[in-house]
């Protein structure tokens, strides 16, 4: 799906001239997995703002506007308090800032579980207000009917099994799932149910590696791991985690940079120069002609 309007790139620092990239489509993502194998793994990261989307876009196949924005952007204790309005606002920003990646928006807790009709109304609103290509929802077999309902009405759905953060109160925490045989079999069955319902891809989160591999092998749609296995069809991380913006991160995160330290150091230098009156200097001030 392409952005339907052009932004004025001449007047706003937030909107540099976009690269001439053709946006990927959900069918193109689905075709990455053929005969049970994905030759080119799917790269997926979270994005919450237009500028962040611009920086990530050319490197990613999918940008996920995750309900993790509750913690990352708003400082909430979990994703449970996130609202549909939050997701719509941030989803629209990410679509405006991207030209290449497929944009998928999380459906927040309480906006889809009650009935397929409720889910359709929420998902339709997200598609209309953001221009995203699809939505993501948590849950396995229990949500299969809802997934099928949405797909039949033209709304692409990404599933999510294993550790499902919206259900943290039921799960009792964020520990790895699939350690018991019964739980492992349920995770695999959940993935199969979502595939049968028409999900175009499935996120498998926070499960022991053999289960992540088993899920990947059990379904024909792409399986995207987070705390799973390198053998999944793709990977996703919260961007701020992999960039080192937070001191505490889950075990499955690899930090590729220490942006938190970079930002803190830059602000410290700025504060010192302000206090010693060396900023602004001649290069940053306007002098009489």
Is residue 215 within 8 Å of residue 188, measured between CB atoms?
Answer: yes
Q: Which residue, among 147, 154, 232, 235, has the nearest Cα to 196 in the 3D structure? A: 147
Pairwise CA distance, residues 168 & 209, whole Å:
21
Ligand-binding annotation for 35, yes or no, is no
Ligand-binding annotation for 106, yes or no, is yes
Joined tokens for residue 54: 């611009």
Q: Report CA torsion sign: 127, 59, 27, 139.
A: negative
Pairwise CA distance, residues 216 & 213, whole Å:
5
Q: Which residue, among 28, 1, 234, has the nearest Cα to 95 in the 3D structure? A: 1
Ligand-binding annotation for 61, yes or no, is no
Q: Which residue, among 103, 106, 93, has the nearest Cα to 67 in the 3D structure? A: 106
Hunting for tokens 């749609």 — which residue is that? Answer: 221
Ligand-binding annotation for 276, yes or no, is no
Joined tokens for residue 149: 């309902």
Alpha helices in the chain (DSSP H): 26-31, 50-57, 69-72, 84-97, 116-130, 144-152, 168-171, 181-197, 209-218, 239-242, 259-275
209 is catalytic: no
Pairwise CA distance, residues 272 & 198, whole Å:
57
Ligand-binding annotation for 138, yes or no, is yes
C-alpha distance across the termini of the chain, in Å? 51
Is residue 46 within 8 Å of residue 34, measured between CB atoms?
Answer: no
Pairwise CA distance, residues 196 & 194, whole Å:
5
Joined tokens for residue 169: 């109160």
Name the catalytic one among 85, 121, 205, 257: 205
Binding residues for 3-methyl-2-oxobutanoate, as ranges, are 67-68, 106, 136
Binding residues for Mg(2+), as ranges, are 67, 106, 138
Annotated active-site positions, please?
A: 205
Binding residues, as ranges, are 67-68, 106, 136, 138
């Amino acid at each position: 799906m392409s952005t339907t309007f052009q932004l004025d790139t001449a007047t706003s620092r937030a909107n540099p001239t976009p690269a001439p990239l053709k946006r990927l489509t959900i069918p193109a993502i689905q075709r990455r997995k053929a005969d049970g194998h994905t030759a080119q793994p799917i790269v997926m990261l979270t994005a919450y703002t237009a500028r962040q989307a611009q920086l990530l876009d050319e490197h990613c196949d999918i940008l996920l506007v995750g309900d993790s924005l509750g913690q990352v952007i708003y400082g909430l204790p979990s994703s449970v308090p996130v609202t549909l309005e939050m997701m719509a606002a941030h989803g629209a920003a990410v679509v405006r800032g991207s030209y290449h990646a497929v944009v998928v928006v999380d459906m927040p807790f309480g906006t889809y579980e009650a009935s397929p009709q409720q889910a359709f109304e929420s998902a339709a609103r997200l598609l209309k207000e953001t221009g995203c290509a699809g939505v993501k929802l948590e849950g396995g077999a229990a949500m299969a009917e809802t997934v099928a309902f949405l797909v039949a009405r033209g709304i692409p759905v990404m599933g999510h099994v294993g550790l499902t953060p919206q259900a943290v109160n039921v799960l009792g925490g964020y520990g790895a799932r699939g350690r018991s045989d019964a739980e492992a079999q349920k995770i695999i069955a959940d993935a199969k149910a979502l595939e049968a319902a028409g999900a175009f891809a499935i996120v498998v989160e926070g499960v022991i590696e053999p289960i992540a591999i088993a899920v990947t092998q059990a379904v024909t749609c792409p399986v995207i791991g987070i705390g799973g296995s390198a053998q999944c069809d793709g990977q996703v991380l919260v961007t701020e985690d992999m960039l080192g913006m937070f001191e505490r991160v889950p075990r499955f995160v690899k930090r590729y940079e220490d942006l938190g330290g970079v930002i803190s150091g830059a602000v410290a230098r700025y504060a010192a120069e302000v206090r010693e009156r060396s900023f602004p200097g001649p290069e940053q001030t306007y002098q009489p002609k």
